[in-house]
Amino acid sequence: MSVCRYPLFILMFAVLPSLVRADINSELFSSYQRLLADYQIEKILAGEGLVSAFDYEAALADGDLEQRLARQTKALASFDPETLNGRKESLAFWINAYNFFMVRQILTEQPDGVLVSSVWDYGGRVNPFVENVFERANFEIGGSSYSLNDIEKGILLGDDFADRGWKDARIHFAVNCASVGCPPLRNVVYTADNLETILAENTRRAFNTERHLRIDGDVLFVTALFDWYQEDFLAASGSVKAFIEAWADPAVAVRVRDAETLEYIDYDWRLNSPGNLKLN
């Protein structure tokens, strides 16, 4: 007697999607997403370049700001990053965490009651006797304390992710240090679904923005990120120019290829506020 196995197969097929967990980032960073929607400003430049600013003054005038920051902070403090599912979800999570904590830092610490003019106002270059903002382990995730450097250099660009094949030099065009010279903060959180699209887009559009790349005659001027993190770009593509050619628009790539000299653009550490980026 033959036995029909199709009903069992159909049942298993129907149950399978419920076993696949949705990407955690959209839900986990919902409070941060609302902050971005309300106070982050993007401006498209000629040639598809992009700059963005965060309206800290407007956010500080929001009567609900303290609660909004507290909800996001609590969500991260109680989240176990060991539950992250694979490369895309993990990269998206740590990019979001870095960018949220940087915004939170500016919104929660104003020396002498005044919004900082640069992240270096917190210490480091201006006051070398005070730990700079990137080294402070003030940010809690899953019961552990992290600094911004821990997240960027120790995790996203660290040895463990490199060993897994997850290290991606385009991260330098995704994490935002709240400065004019940074690649733009985006108005959406990163997710497993949009990660590749936004990483590619941010990198390409940086190369269409003179703050990050310009060509004068046969001289190629590029963001100082390529100087500070040269090893990451060499590991990714063999050279700074090769990395740019791989991710730039074709017309930009041709001009980069023909350039004979490489120089670095002075980094602008002023706060990425609308006034400093002329987005008012």
**pLDDT tens per residue across span 224-266:** 999 999 999 999 999 999 999 999 999 999 999 999 999 999 9
Cβ burial, residue 150 (10 Å; 0-12/13-18/19+): buried
Number of domains composing the chain = 1
> Both tokens of residue 149?
């450097």
DSSP state of 179: B
Place of tokens 């990120």: 225
State the pLDDT confidence band at 14, using cuts at 50, 70 and 90. very low
**Any domain includes 147:** yes
pLDDT in tens, 40-50: 999 999 889 99
Q: What is the pLDDT of residue 6?
A: 47
> Are 178 and 231 within 8 A, CB to CB?
no
State the pLDDT confidence band at 128, using cuts at 50, 70 and 90. low
**Any domain includes 181:** yes
Domain range enclosing 117? 21-208
State the pLDDT confidence band at 22, using cuts at 50, 70 and 90. confident
pLDDT in tens, 168-220: 999 999 999 999 999 999 999 999 999 999 999 999 999 999 999 999 999 99
Higher pLDDT: 45 or 124? It is 45
Annotate 90-100 with b (16+ C-beta within 10 A) or e (fewer): bbbbbbbbbbb
Task: Give mean pLDDT, residues 152-180.
Answer: 98
**Any domain includes 6:** no
**Any domain includes 276:** no
- C-alpha 142/C-alpha 88 separation (Å) is 19
**Any domain includes 229:** no
**Any domain includes 122:** yes
Which residues are CB-contacts of 30 (< 8 A; sequence separation ≥ 6)?
none
**Any domain includes 263:** no
